[in-house]
């Protein structure tokens, strides 16, 4: 009995052990739960998109101001002052982003001239009195394309191109104008030739005492042969019957009218028109005002180092148009440079003990700027020293 219980108990243990081992082998391991995917918030169709600010539209006064700055850029580029020109281009585009002249100069400074103008070119010798702007206006259609033409030829200062220098101009050489072929004279209309009219000479009067035989011989000599006698072209009149009581009026024969032959001149073909190269006009720009003209004159005088003439031109431009702030600022700059120039000359003469030269320089400065206190004090100092030197002598 005990052995049977033990055997049964051991069998149950064996069965339980097998079941536990099978459970360990068959049960899958619990996988780690993956985190839920993050949902990306889709933009709501009702939300308005961020709108870009509208481009700036310059007022007429700002357009004129930007144009003045762009004209100043032209003078700077002609003088080869590229860094200053870039600053002025940015300022012009900031005032008026649509200024065409400033955009053109910016493109000329940034693009590759050979890619923009092409590799095909022809040689041209600069003539006396010509400039790169004039040549660019003739062959490129825009006088303000002078700087990219200068870069195309490796010229740093476009204003210093001398006469006689050979430069390259992009494009094909224009054909030389040819004279049109002379038009042949039109043939005159040929008039119909009149029909020959035979003139019969009258018979000579018989001489007195001539015999009948002599008269007949003379008549035979004068009378033309039968073949030469012209037959009348008029038809013979019809005979009128005697029985007719009505008078018959013979109609005058009418000579047949020959159609008039009018020679129609042959219509010559028009000569081939050879198109001569027409100089392209420069791009149309706003008509410059008197203030703009005075401002441009001041820029030219400033570039040539004539500070006093430049100051007077800028002052004239500002007086003609008080809204021209560029003219006012340039006039103030010229005023400072002129005062500094007179001051350097006066002090340099005083240092060389040239008291009269120093006094003359101070006088010129006071004539230009009467209220300059420094000039009055230093002039008085030079006068006192000059009097002392005279007293010692």
Please check the confidence at residue 4 and state whether its pLDDT lies above 90: no
- pLDDT of 258 strictly over 50: yes
Specify if 210 maps to a domain: no
Q: Is residue 381 part of a domain?
A: yes
Q: Which residue has the tokens 């050489």?
A: 173
66 vs 219, residue with greater confidence: 66
The half-sphere exposure of 248 on its side-chain side, counting CA atoms within 13 A, is 10
Count: domains in the chain? 2
Buried/exposed code over 114-136 (b: 16+ C-beta within 10 A; e: otherwise): eeebeeebeebebeeeeebbebb
Q: 147 or 287: which carries more pLDDT confidence?
A: 147
Place of tokens 């028109």: 273
User: Is residue 275 in some structural domain?
Assistant: no
Per-residue pLDDT reduced to its tens digit, 106-123: 999 999 999 999 888 999
Residue 167's pLDDT band (cuts 50, 70, 90): very high
CATH of residue 384:
1.25.40
Percent of the chain with pLDDT over 70: 58
What pLDDT does 38 receive?
54
Position 236 pLDDT exceeds 70 = no
Structural domain range at position 303: 290-392
Phi and psi dihedrals of 168, rounded to 5?
-105, 130
* Closest of 175, 105, 98, 112 to residue 142, by C-alpha: 105
Confidence of residue 229 (pLDDT cuts 50, 70, 90): very low
Residue 278 in domain = no
- The reported pLDDT for the residue numbered 194 is 55
Question: What pLDDT sits at residue 12?
Answer: 64
Residue 50 domain flag: no
Residue 99's CB: how many other CB atoms inside 10 A?
Answer: 23
Give the pLDDT confidence of 66-120 residue by residue, as tens digits.
888 998 998 899 888 999 999 999 999 999 999 999 999 999 999 999 999 988 8
Categorise residue 118: left if φ over 0, alpha if ψ from -120 to 50, beta otherwise.
left
Which of 170, 195, 225 corresponds to the end of one domain? 170
Interval 348-355 mean pLDDT:
88
CB 216, CB 240: distance < 8 Å: no
Instruction: Give the pLDDT mean for 335-347.
Output: 90
Domain closes at, from 126, 146, 170: 170
CA–CA dist 255, 244 (Å, integer) = 29
Q: Judge whether 11 lies within some domain.
A: no
CB atoms under 10 Å from CB of 206, counted, come to: 13
Mean pLDDT score of the chain: 74
Which of these three, 113, 145, 170, is where a domain ends? 170
230 within some domain: no
The vertex-63 CA angle with 59 and 64, nearest 5°, equals: 120
pLDDT-derived band at 31 (thresholds 50, 70, 90) equals very low
pLDDT at 318: 87
Q: For residue 36, tell me if it sits in a domain.
A: no
């Amino acid at each position: 009995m005990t052995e049977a219980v033990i055997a049964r108990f051991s069998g149950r243990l064996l069965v339980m052990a097998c079941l536990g081992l099978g459970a360990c082998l068959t049960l899958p391991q619990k996988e780690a739960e993956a985190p839920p995917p993050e949902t990306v918030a889709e933009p709501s169709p009702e939300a308005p998109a961020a709108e870009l600010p509208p481009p700036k539209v310059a007022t007429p006064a700002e357009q004129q101001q930007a144009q003045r700055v762009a004209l100043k850029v032209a003078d700077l580029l002609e003088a080869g002052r590229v860094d200053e020109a870039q600053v002025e281009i940015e300022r012009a585009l900031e005032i008026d982003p649509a200024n065409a002249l400033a955009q053109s100069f910016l493109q000329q400074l940034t693009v590759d001239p050979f890619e923009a103008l092409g590799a095909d070119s022809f040689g041209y010798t600069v003539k006396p009195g010509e400039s790169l702007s004039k040549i660019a206006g003739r062959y490129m259609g825009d006088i303000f394309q002078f700087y990219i033409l200068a870069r195309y030829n490796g010229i740093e200062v476009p204003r210093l191109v001398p006469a006689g220098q050979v430069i390259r101009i992009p494009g094909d050489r224009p054909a030389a104008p040819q004279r049109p072929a002379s038009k042949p004279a039109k043939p005159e209309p040929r008039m119909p030739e009149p029909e020959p009219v035979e003139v019969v000479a009258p018979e000579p009067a018989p001489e007195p005492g001539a015999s009948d035989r002599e008269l007949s011989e003379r008549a035979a000599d004068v009378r033309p042969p039968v073949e030469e006698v012209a037959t009348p072209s008029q038809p013979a009149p019809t005979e009128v019957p005697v029985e007719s009581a009505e008078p018959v009026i013979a109609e005058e024969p009418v000579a047949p009218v020959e159609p008039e032959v009018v020679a129609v001149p042959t219509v010559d073909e028009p000569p081939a028109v050879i198109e001569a190269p027409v100089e392209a006009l420069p791009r149309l720009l706003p008509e410059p005002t008197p203030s703009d003209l005075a401002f441009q004159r001041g820029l030219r005088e400033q570039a040539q180092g004539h500070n006093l003439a430049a100051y007077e031109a800028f002052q004239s431009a500002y007086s003609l148009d008080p809204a021209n702030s560029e003219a006012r600022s340039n006039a103030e700059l010229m005023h400072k440079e002129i005062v500094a120039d007179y001051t350097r000359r006066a002090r340099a003469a005083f240092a060389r003990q040239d008291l009269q030269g120093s006094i003359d320089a101070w006088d010129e400065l006071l004539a230009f700027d009467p209220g300059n206190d420094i000039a009055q004090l230093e002039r008085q100092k030079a006068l006192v020293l000059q009097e002392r030197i005279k007293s010692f002598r």
